[in-house]
Amino acid sequence: MPDQPNASFTPEVIASSVWEAIKDVPGLSDLYRTPLQSLGERVHIERPQAVRLDQSGEDGPALDLHIVIDAGAHIPTVARQVATAGADYLAGMTGTALAHVRVHVHDVVGLDPE
């Protein structure tokens, strides 16, 4: 079998592809964006992504996912399902297994203000 050429993906392609893979996880509301990042999307300035692939680790690539979850969702379950779905999809897309997946929960939406 001939060697496959190494593909290169932009951060935007990785982010949108991983979002497609994780968006239907129950309890996941959205990817996290700071107000400045949201503004950057409107005026098309470069910004850090809520989905980051870090290939600088000695033990292999790591995926960082910055998310917002729905009120009432079980955070460990949502984080585990998001990590698994994102890692499986990205490994299939790039052909490389990830050493780590880090899920950062930045906010919970739908809480009743008291």
CATH of the domain at 33: 3.30.70.1350
Phi, psi of 51 (to 5 degrees): -120, 120
Answer yes or no: is 19 within a domain: yes
Question: What pTM was estimated for this model as a whole?
Answer: 0.77
Calculate mean pLDDT across residues 43-68: 77
Interatomic CA distance for residues 50 and 33, integer angstroms: 7
What's the domain count of the chain?
Answer: 1
Quote the domain boundaries for residue 60.
11-106
Measure the CA–CA gap between 114 and 111, rounded to whole angstroms: 9
| pLDDT, tens digit (0-9, with 9 covering 90-100), for 11-38 | 778 888 888 889 999 999 988 876 554 4
Q: How does residue 54 score in pLDDT terms, banded at 50, 70 and 90? A: confident
- Please give, one letter per residue, the 3-state secondary structure of 64-92: EEEEEEECCCCHHHHHHHHHHHHHHHHHH
